[in-house]
Structure 1
Amino acid sequence: MPLDVICVGTATVDTIAVVDRMPAADDRVVAEPFVTACGGPAATAAVALARLGARVGFCGVVGDDDAGRLVRAGFEHEGVDTTWLRTVPGVATTTSLVIAARSGSTRAIVTTAQHAPSPDDVPAGAATWLHADQTGYRSALAAVRSGTRGAGSRLSLDAGNPIPGLDLAGVDLYVPTTAALAREFGTDDVDEGLCAAAKAGAGAVVATAGSTGSHVLDGDDVTVVAPFRVDVASTIGAGDVFHGALLAGLVGGGTLAEAARLANAVAALSCRALDGRSAIPSRAEADALLLAQHRHDTGDTHDE
């Protein structure tokens, strides 16, 4: 039986520094104790899927180093299938330094080179969905387009980061941020951007807007899905979590709008911790928030 999703792209080890303000050139600031955690857009999406009960694997490249071993161990701990995680001698696993400033809620990311799997390494036929970040996009798209190797697989794309030469033909689910959507299609009108993406070939489009929710285009209908309010420690990785939760909702049989509502809830809950993974909720935790919000919205105080 195929997996629900195989995530294709970058897996990193991140060092996170929280400061009161973003340092300027030649500046020196004092940070809270550094936190080390695994990250990466496709990798964090895979962990979110696993926490929500999906059958998920990861396809990517790490080095034969301590960081690579940490990445692999993290996946295995979460129940993510590492069959397609290649360890390449002589390659350095991608590492990142994330500086998060409490004032203004801004952050800066410094990262080393990212390593994409080859199209031949992407097992498109082994999953109902492939989910690619900016690093895995070209290999995943090539695998889907290659014929029998991509039979039955649908392609989801995390387009929050820039993707030069983006081609949406063959992308079943395109998920940029609203800012990325505006850059790609030259309009600040979100509805216009969603429709332009569909005309460019995307099967369905969801644009994320952070604390203001998400915008869903499914067919001819646009829906704005409201956000959830939680106490936020950090938004690091929240977008990556959203992508995994969105697919978890779809493989669970939900509509695109229902999946986006679940993804909003899961991404919000993931913000309870400094790193992008430790606070990703289980499906039961996410369902509890969804129910609490529904009762708040409807004024239902009945205890079942």
Structure 2
Amino acid sequence: MAHRASVVCVGSAILDTIALVDRLPGEDQRVEADQVVIAGGGNASTSAVAIARLGVDVEFSGIVGDDEAGATVLAQLEAEGVGTSLVERRAGVETSHSVVVVSRESGARAILTRPAVTPDRIPSGFDWVHVDKAGYRALAQGGRISSAVSLDDGNPVPGLDLNLIDLYVPTAIVLRERFPGQSAEDGAREALRLGTTTVVATDGAHGSFAATRDQLVHSPGLPITPLSTLGAGDVFHGALLAAIVLGKPLQEAIRFANVTAALSCRALDGRSGIPDRTEVEAALSDLP
């Protein structure tokens, strides 16, 4: 079955309740929130929103509940231009929800989440399939597919088979955890040896790097004072795929993704600060 979009993001769609506080509370402590917002979240679905905001057609595939939260999640995706024809609203399932506390002082956050339900299958007919932790479980059940596959390994995926992945996108921290005693760059080389084609690792404000069997390239982060880093990794994944679909070479693609993710940190939630392509292209001139 063919689709108008070249990318489908498979996995979690979540409703976030986010509180901004001066500092994160300790055990048995009470702090007052300066601001509380309810917004869409979830790894794969936020990546889809970033792709749509950047002007690339995208679908989201996942499972939400047949409840009010599920209706809200779908309405938010549709308002962003994300296709939702592959979303199942399942009776008896509660839509995933997270409670997020963000520190104004550092931009750090604490997250409590009810995990998303694993999708039943990976849709076919797309050039690219992007999966998060929930989406990977569906991928692993079916094995290798004909579409190119991108993986969000920011929240480490257990039982990972890199032979299923074309574009592997962990954090530098996850790379060092997966390959103890090695630098992030050496860990990337090991991931290539284990079967993936391209590794792109994010390292927060330090930027990112990309590794293939033929090259290793670095790109700095865009200097910014974040209000919140919630969703920045998900935005990076979406922007990276959008850049690839738009035909940008690898080093330009990671620069593009760095800037998009950095600009998204100016909002408390993980989506409302995501820039469009015009704003990203303008900000690229500020990146060394």
User: Normalising by structure 2, what TM-score?
Assistant: 0.96
Between the aligned partners of 2:108 and 2:225, the Cα distance in structure 1 is 17
Does 2:285 correspond to 1:286? no
Structure 2 partner of 1:265: 259
Between the aligned partners of 1:198 and 1:285, the Cα distance in structure 2 is 33
Residue 220 (structure 1) shift: 2.7
CA 1:250 to 1:259, structure 2 compared with 1: closer, same or farther past 3 Å? same
Share of identical aligned residues, percent?
48
Contact 1:218/1:256 (<8 A) preserved: no
Between the aligned partners of 2:281 and 2:62, the Cα distance in structure 1 is 31
Deviates more, 1:187-196 or 1:29-38: 187-196
Residue 223 (structure 1) shift: 1.0
Letter in 2 for 1:49: I
Tell me, which stretches of 5 or more residues in structure 1 are unaligned?
Answer: 298-304
Between the aligned partners of 1:247 and 1:33, the Cα distance in structure 2 is 32
Between the aligned partners of 2:241 and 2:115, the Cα distance in structure 1 is 27
Does 2:30 correspond to 1:28? yes
1:58 is matched with which residue: 53, 57, 60? Answer: 60
Letter in 1 for 2:180: G
Deviations 1:30-78 (A, max 9, x none): 1112111000010000000001111100010000111100110011111
Greater than 4 Å deviation, 4+ residue runs: 141-144
Structure 1 partner of 2:204: 210
Between the aligned partners of 2:104 and 2:79, the Cα distance in structure 1 is 31
Between the aligned partners of 1:106 and 1:267, the Cα distance in structure 2 is 15
Does 2:157 correspond to 1:168? no
In the alignment of these two chains, the number of paired residues is: 286
Residue 106 (structure 1) shift: 2.3
RMSD over aligned CA atoms reads 1.4
Residues 227-266 of structure 1 aligned to structure 2 (within 5 Å):
227-266=221-260
Contact 1:237/1:275 (<8 A) preserved: yes
Between the aligned partners of 2:182 and 2:264, the Cα distance in structure 1 is 28
Structure 2 partner of 1:92: 94
Residues 1-40 of structure 1 aligned to structure 2 (within 5 Å):
2=3, 3-40=5-42
Deviations 1:235-277 (A, max 9, x none): 1100000000000010111122211110001001111111110
Residue 26 (structure 1) shift: 1.0
Deviations 1:83-134 (A, max 9, x none): 1110001100000000111234321100113211012xx21x2210000001
Between the aligned partners of 1:250 and 1:144, the Cα distance in structure 2 is 24
CA 1:44 to 1:30, structure 2 compared with 1: closer, same or farther past 3 Å? same
Letter in 2 for 1:134: K
- Rg comparison, structure with higher value: 1
Does 2:198 correspond to 1:196? no
Letter in 2 for 1:166: L
Structure 1 partner of 2:214: 220
Contact 2:107/2:227 (<8 A) preserved: no
Deviations 1:5-29 (A, max 9, x none): 1000000000001111111111111
Does 2:99 correspond to 1:102? no
Contact 2:173/2:184 (<8 A) preserved: no
Deviations 1:186-243 (A, max 9, x none): 1341111110110111110001001000011022311111111234211110000000
